[in-house]
Amino acid sequence: MDAGREVLRSQDRLTARAEPVETAFRRRVIDALIAPLRALDAVEAVWEGGSAATGRLDAFSDVDLCIVAPPEATSAVLDAVESALAAIAPIEHTWRVDPPAFRDMAQRFYLLAGAPPFFAVDCSVLAPAGVAQFLERERHGEPLVYFDRGGRVRAVPLDRDAHEARRRARLEQIGQSVPVYALLARKEIARKRVLEALGFYQALLRALVELLGMAHRPERFDFGLRYVHGDFPPQVQGRLAHFAFVPDGDTLAGRIEEIVAAIEAQRAAVTASIHAVP
């Protein structure tokens, strides 16, 4: 049986028998956070992004909280967040993301003792100047606004010209980089250094995911494997699973050749679609 099809079937079986997270706990956390944040004059707005904004909210969803405040207020804001969380349950683990993924942003993840399985609070403090990129409707959905003193938090349309320029630049970079990654992967196979070959193979896999994203979800082509379950057709997911789950080192050499061919075919298809646009 093909590994990709078996992985997807295993995922479906796991989802079917998984116990749902207690969503009342999630609501309790949100309610506990909003009041102290509203009490801080420096906080201009609070909204929820992530699954709540994209219509993917389910019993397993985290709290993805976005807080707008000037950089000099970040410490006070996070202190208020942590005090509110600690009143619900001890904070068992904190990840202070450093460096953050974006400029004008501070981000922390919190895991709470006694919380339902898989639950986390993803808290981002955003400088007012850096908010717009998180409100592009096609990429981030409709923000669930808890309060907005200035009335500025609303979904905005994607800047398609700028986004298309990024997509074309990335397509060019993929075309230039894949022959190099393929050479390096093959070289390490020849040296019998399978783990090192795997590292370069993973770069090829990321390139294929991006190219498939350009075809199936062009607004979010750069989201990696995030949301592929809903964004990619089942047969495409199965194909990716075939490439992602390499059973052993002996299989890797063949998969390298397969994925290079798949990348080139997909890159040609994306390039043709771009040139076909009037």
- Cβ pair 64, 93 in contact under 8 A: no
Query: Of 148, 172, 200, which residue sits at a domain end?
Result: 148
Residue 10 has pLDDT above 70, yes or no: no
122 and 188 in one domain? no
In a domain, 3, yes or no: no
In a domain, 94, yes or no: yes
164 and 142 in one domain? no
CA 107, 18, 7 angle in degrees (round to 5)? Answer: 85
In a domain, 51, yes or no: yes
Q: Rounded to whole angstroms, how far apart are CA atoms 151 and 44?
A: 9
119 and 164 in one domain? no
pLDDT digits (tens, 9 = 90+) for 172-230: 999 999 999 999 999 999 999 999 999 999 999 999 999 999 999 999 999 999 999 99
pLDDT digits (tens, 9 = 90+) for 109-158: 999 999 999 999 999 999 999 899 999 999 999 999 999 999 999 999 99
Residue 211 falls in which region: left (phi positive, over 0), alpha (psi -120 to 50) or beta: alpha
In a domain, 9, yes or no: no
In a domain, 7, yes or no: no
37 and 131 in one domain? yes
In a domain, 166, yes or no: yes
73 and 30 in one domain? yes
Q: Is the pTM of this model over 0.75?
A: yes
Query: Of 148, 180, 211, which residue sits at a domain end?
Result: 148
- pLDDT confidence band for 277 (50 / 70 / 90): low
Query: Of 122, 148, 174, which residue sits at a domain end?
Result: 148
Q: Which domain holds residue 194?
A: 160-276
84 and 136 in one domain? yes
Query: What CATH number has the domain bearing residue 119?
Result: 3.30.460.10
pLDDT digits (tens, 9 = 90+) for 20-29: 334 899 999 9
Q: Which two tokens stand for residue 208?
A: 């294929």
Return the residue matching tokens 């022959």.
179
In a domain, 5, yes or no: no
Rg from Cα positions in the chain: 22
103 and 167 in one domain? no
Strands of the 144-148 sheet, one edge to the other: 91-96, 105-112, 121-126, 63-68, 45-48, 144-148
37 and 116 in one domain? yes
Residue % of the chain over a pLDDT of 70: 91
Domain count, the chain: 2
172 and 239 in one domain? yes
144 and 190 in one domain? no
168 and 116 in one domain? no
94 and 170 in one domain? no
In a domain, 154, yes or no: no
